[in-house]
Structures are given as C-alpha cells and as structure tokens.
Amino acid sequence: MFKNKSIRFFNELSIKDVPEVGGKNASLGEMYCNLTKHGIKIPNGYATTSTAYREFLEVSGLKKRIQDILKGLDTHNVNDLMKRGAEIRKIIIATEFPKEFSDEIISAYRKLSAESKVKNLDVAVRSSATAEDLPDASFAGQQETYLNVSGEKDLLLAVKKCIASLFTNRAISYRVDKKFDHFSIALSVGVQKMVRSDLGSSGVMFTIDTESGFRNTVLINSIFGLGENIVQGHVNPDEFYVFKPTGAIISKSYSRKDIKMIYDLKGKVPVKNVKIPEADQTKPSLNDKQVLQLAKWGMKIEEHYKKPMDIEFALDGRNNELYIIQARPETVESRKDLQVIERYKIEKKGKIVIKGQSVGNRIGAGQTNRIMNIKEISKFKPGQVLVTDMTDPDWEPIMKIASAIITDKGGRTCHAAIISRELGIPCVVGTKNASNVIKSGKIVTVSCAEGEEGYVYEGRIPYKVETTNIKDLKKPKTKIMLNIGEPDLAFVNSFIPNDGVGLARLEFIINNYIKIHPLALINYNKLKDLELKKKIDELTVGYKDKSQYFIDRLAQGMGIIAAAYYPKDVIFRLSDFKTNEYASLIGGKEYEPIESNPMIGFRGASRYYSPQFLPAFKLELEAIKRVRLGMGLKNLKVMIPFCRTIEEGKKVQEIMAANGLKRGLDGLEIYVMAEIPSNIILAEKFCQIFDGFSIGSNDLTQLTLGIDRDAGGSLKVEGVSNEKNEAVKILITNLIKTAKKFRRKVGICGQGPSDFPDFAEFLVEQGIDSISLNPDTVISTTMAILKREKTLRRSKGFLSLFF
C-alpha cells in the first residue's frame, strides 16, 4: 500500500524539492511558481515523486531482483553491461504499478486535460533523476523522454519506460563511474503539456558560451520541429549569440535543416522525421524578435538561479508563442577555474583528413575506430578515436574512454558535443562524411585548438599544453592589449589578462568569414563568369542582396570581438589587404591591378577614397556603424592604416562622417597607424586630426630601412630587418614624445614586442601608453614589463635623492 501522495503539480514544487522530484521537475516547479509572473511562459504539468518510485520497487520486489542482477558487474565489459541492463529494463516494464499509483497518475492527467479542454491531452513524459542536473553530476540525457503521448494507457506505459530508463546501460555505467549507489538515486517522471513545436521550432539556450565559458553572452541553437533532432545530432541548428550588456544579437548563422520531427498523427509511433522542402531548409527557425525574447527570458532565469543555465524552449506553431520547457544549471564551463589558463598548441601542421565544428579547445590523438552501430561498441578500445555518424546516450560507455570523437552530423549542442565537453575530450562534429573518409586503424590527430573549425590531421602531430596560473600576476602600468584577428578565439582569449584590443584585423574576418571580394558582391548581377557566380551562391545562401552578406558577416565578426572585451577599447584597423591579397579572394582578380611591389602599392587609406574601391569601403563603414549603433558596442574604435599624408587622413574621415561615423560623435575615436616615416615626421599635424597612434613596427622597419617585408632571406639579418634597429627606435622615441606633448594616445601593435622581450622593455622606458601583443606571448611579456617597470621606479627613486 502506498503511504504518501505520489503526484505533485508544478505549482506545488520549488527547487528545494530536488530530492523528491529530481532536478528537471523541481526546476520546472520553481520557474512555474516564480517566473511566470515575469511573462515567461511555462506549460503546466505534474511529477511523480521519488517516494512513489522507491515504494514501487519495494512493494513489487523489483529492488531485490535488480540488486541480484547487478552483482559482480564490470562496466568495462560492454557485452556484460548490455545483457544485464536489458534484463533489468525488461522486468520493470513487465511489472504492474500498484493501483494507488496508477490511479493518481491518471487522475492528474485528467485534470491537466480538463485545463486544456481536451479529452486526451498530448503530453511530454520526461525522466528526472533525483541526482540529475546537480552541479557535480550532469547526467546529460541519461534517462528517456517520450513525446506526444496521448491517452491513459500510453501514459502509464511511458511512465514505466522512464523508470526503466534509470537502468539503461549508459546510466548504470555513469553511476558506477561517479561512485553513486544505484539505489541512492530515485526517479521522478514529469508529465507536461506538449507545445506544438512540430508545427513551429524548438531548441536549446545557454546563458554562457559553451566553448569558452564567456559569461556575457546567451547562445541559442534552434531547428524546425521537435527539439530531439538537436540533441541526437540529426540536424545542424541555426545559431545565435546575444550580448547580455546591450541586449543585441551580435551573431547569427542559418544552417541547412533538411528534416524535422513532427507528430505522427496517423501512424503507430508518436513522432517521426519528415523531409523539409529544399526552398525552406535555409530559412531561419527563429526571427530576431523571438531570439531577443528568448535571450531576455534566459537572462531572467539566470538571474533567478544566480548561475549560468542550460535551457530548452519550444515555439508553438499554432499560436506562435514561445515556451520554456526545461532549465537546469550549466555544469561544465561555469565550473572552470578562470585563474588557470590552459592552451593547447599544434607545433606543426600536417595533412588535413577532414574538418568540421570544433568542440572545446583541446587536442587528442590515437588510432581510429569506425563504429556505425550501437551493437558494435564492444569492439572499441580505450584511447582510440571514435568515428561515427552521431552518438546518443547509449554510446557513453565508450565515449568516456575515447581520446577524441569525430561525427558526421551534429552541432555544438548535440549529444556528442555535450558529453565530450563534460569529459574534456576533443570532438569534431558536423564533418558530413568522416565515416566515409576515415577507416578504422588509422592514426590521426584531432585538433579543436585552432578556432571554430576543428581539424583531423593524418598521423600523430606533435602538440604541447601550456598551463598558466594568473592568480598572482600583477597588472603593469603600461597597458597590455591584444592583437586579435579570429572572432572564434575572441571569447577564450578574453580570459588572458588584458586592457582591451590594440589591433583587430578586418582582413582576417574578410579572408576567413566572407572569402569574397566586396566588389564581386556589389557587381554580382554583372558577373559573366558562371563558375564564379556559383561559388558566390554557395557562400551567400539566402542572400538576394549579395552586398548585405558582406555587411552582415563583417559586422558579426567585429561584434563578437568587440563584445568579448567590452567595455574595454577594441581598435579595429580598416581593411589593409594588399592588391595580391585582395586578388586571392573569390572574384578578386577581376578588380585588382597587378603590382610589382604590393607592400608599398595600392593599400590602406589610398584605397578608401579611390573611385574604384569606394563602394566597397562604404560596406565596411556600414558594418562598423551596425556594431557601434545597432549592437551598442561603442567600445569599438577605428584605425586608418597606411595613411601617407595629412590630406589622405582628412579625405578618409570626410567619407566616414558622410556615412554616419564622424570622429567624436557618440564617443567615436579614430586612430592612425604610425608605420610610414611621414607619420612621424609630421606627427604634430597628424595629432590635429587623430585621437591617437598605433605603431606598426613591421612596416615602419620596412620603410625606414628600405627592406621589402616580402623579400627572401638575404636581408633577414639581425639588426637590419627588425624593429631593434637604431633608426627605427629613434623614430619611435620621437613619436612617443610628440604624442605625449599633444596628449594623444600612443601604442604599438606590430610584431616586435611579441617577438623580442627586450624591445618591449625599450618601449616601456620611452613611456609608451600601451603594447598590443599576440595572445600566446602576453604572460611572458607582461612579466618582463613588470620587471622593467620596477627597475625604472627604483632608478627614479635613486636619482631623486640627488636632484
């Protein structure tokens, strides 16, 4: 006989009820009671209790039978694990619920149906283990969910299947590894009104960046139809980043979504996958308004729980309303020690076998084992690289012993990505055809340490791991800024001690994210080369106005970088491609002259006001304006490169002002690169029209000494071809003095301080305001600068005794 109430509705629950209804159901109750009043929509439902679960096992005799089956289990013996797990699930399904328990489940279901004025309401039936979703034990889908369950008989079966799923192979294995007693954990089953996302869309939202742990962003992944296809990796989702401080979308990308999961209203199964018409596959699964509403809700939920959250949502296609259907604490990135910086670095690159989306930032190597069916997982050996189509929770016993994982399908929030992140294993997802390209028995290196793209290299490539504790690293008086080009690495590099970004290179974004010459996009309709148009079409899917593709991609790349370091200054250098570099972009040869020495040719400021390039420059300005005004990232500053004369500086600024970027308006600062001797000879005049200087020591050395930076090795001699040459140092000293006289900021963004610590010390001696470094040299150079500043303070103190 059941002694206690076995059902609790959401309005009777709070987060304190985790021991009774598990993490998922307690969280739903907490939100239902506290956050619906803030406009957050949560479908109603109820949960069975852990007490009811335990009484069911005791009354039926199941507990003793399960204990007997589990005696002597070795979880590393996959065949034995599978056999015992199957036997336990079979006996649970075959055992009837006590009448009191089944009556309460059905009574609550009838009440929920009556609320919706439906006889047999369609519901989602979800498992919620009492240790699930706790900060130290993310079970990541260990138990089952059943969607579109309708009718009392099917409901009772689904509840029983959820209870049985506490003893799936992966759940048993997981508990053994986490040292949980199998019966210290109980199962609650949540029964929640279904949202008709099969007619709309659904997805997951994190209030923290899942790759870097950056906390100022909300990451949203969405697809058409029911959300199971995201977790299962069947569909690569659309991806959106919303910046919390300004509440603006800073990045969005739309994937090709070829299938969606819907209700199977006529068939024998509750849900099925159907093909999406090709014309609709690249359409956004959420519009901007919906993305912003979700982000606002996500931030409100995070504020309530006081921790980063992992949230599931659904968009009902009937009423076009959004709903939160689950929320739990994020359990991987939010628990990292931010005082310890760990960097994996490939020491040399090899032949790329395949590439996809990187998960995490680690590197792993080993022998490949291509496994395409769950029945074959017993063949997997510790330390091997798993190659498969996609994973689900049944694969976890072998995922935890893999050195790396490679999948054909999936995005950053699919099952393979979630588990590999938790386990700290490098994982490359969404490769499309790795399982066809990579056979078993090959040695490969899997690198997720090179940005958004993950690479699988042939053979065992040497790499190193650098670990630095920055807890006691002091901050020098000289500002230490970063040189950044890749938006992919902006969030992770933001944890390096810094004072902002001294050089963000637009050409990196154009080359890696846009790939097409801006004039080819502007003149797309006039292009006669059909092969060229085909290449452009492949990259600009969904864009009728090809110029808009350039603006969007550039603005998003800039937005990610500006957001990563907000509210610190981020100085973007306008595009500084040379003619040969612009020509290498898709369509570039049509618009670029051939120069014998592009290093001192048609580049920098002279491009921006030239009639042939001006339309392309206006696209850059539109992207910058969108970041500063549309995204609210006014920490973005602009820097003009290779500005030969005062007249050029004035011309470029006039064009900028005419396009909504006037110096001083909304706090806009405009800097000039000091990389031509004329910039320093006429420094007093440049001070009149610019807010500051950034020394480009590479070009300054080239033009001072008459050395072509692209030249061969004959001129690469110490003391001639680098910044430490006396003539270059005199020019730098003079510029710093002039800048200080006119109260203009002066920094350096050239390669010199990153390559030569003694050159950085020289700059400190001259009183430079900031030094911008490559991220991997920041710690060592900061320590050298601290030491030099200390010496200078002592010498000044000593001299003050005599003067």
The gap from C-alpha 795 to its chain's centroid, in whole angstroms, comes to 47
What percentage of the chain's residues is helix, strand, coil (to nearest 5)?
45, 20, 35
Peptide bond into 567 cis (omega under 30): yes
Angle at 175 between CA 172 and CA 180, to 5 degrees: 135
Beta bridge partners of 346: 463
Which residues are CB-neighbours of 269 under 8 A, at least 6 positions away?
A: none
Q: Where are the alpha helices (DSSP H) in 369-494?
A: 396-399, 415-423, 434-437, 490-493
The gap from C-alpha 604 to its chain's centroid, in whole angstroms, comes to 32
Q: Which of 499, 476, 581, 511 is nearest to 749 (CA)?
A: 499
Region label for 534, one of left (φ > 0), alpha (ψ between -120 and 50) or beta (otherwise): alpha
Rounded CA-CA distance 30/20 in Å is 13
Which residues are CB-neighbours of 413 under 8 A, at least 6 positions away?
A: 203, 204, 206, 210, 221, 230, 231, 237
Q: What is the CA radius of gyration of the chain?
A: 30
Q: 7: which 2 tokens?
A: 């059902």
Which residues are CB-neighbours of 202 under 8 A, at least 6 positions away?
A: 195, 222, 223, 225, 226, 227, 230, 312, 313, 314, 315
Rounded CA-CA distance 721/710 in Å is 11
For 225, which DSSP code? B
Q: Is 427 a catalytic residue?
A: no
For residue 647, how many other CB atoms are within 10 A of its CB?
Answer: 11
To 10 degrees, what angle do helices 152-164 and 99-115 make?
120
Q: Where are the beta strands (DSSP E) in 276-403?
A: 309-315, 322-329, 340-346, 352-359, 363-370, 385-388
Rounded CA-CA distance 97/476 in Å is 69
Rounded CA-CA distance 403/382 in Å is 8
Q: Where are the beta strands (DSSP E) in 704-795?
A: 745-748, 770-773
- Among the listed residues 415, 427, 517, 687, the single catalytic one is 415
Which residues are CB-neighbours of 798 under 8 A, at least 6 positions away?
A: none
Quick check: 606 and 593 in contact, CB under 8 A? no
**How is the beta sheet containing 201-206 ordered, strand by strand?**
248-253, 238-243, 217-224, 201-206, 309-315, 322-329
Residue 124 belongs to what H/E stretch?
Answer: strand 123-129
First-to-final CA distance of the chain: 95
Q: Are strands 385-388 and 404-407 parallel, antiparallel or unpaired?
A: parallel
168-206 residues labelled b (16+ CB within 10 A) or e (exposed): bbbbbbbbbeeeeebeebbbbbbbbbbbbbbbbbbbbbb
Q: Is 517 a catalytic residue?
A: no
Q: 626: which 2 tokens?
A: 């969108």
Rounded CA-CA distance 572/505 in Å is 6
CA distances from residue 89 to 167, 168, 172, 395, 630 in whole angstroms, order as listed: 6, 7, 11, 17, 55
Most distant CA pair in the chain: distance in Å? 97
Catalytic residues: 415, 749
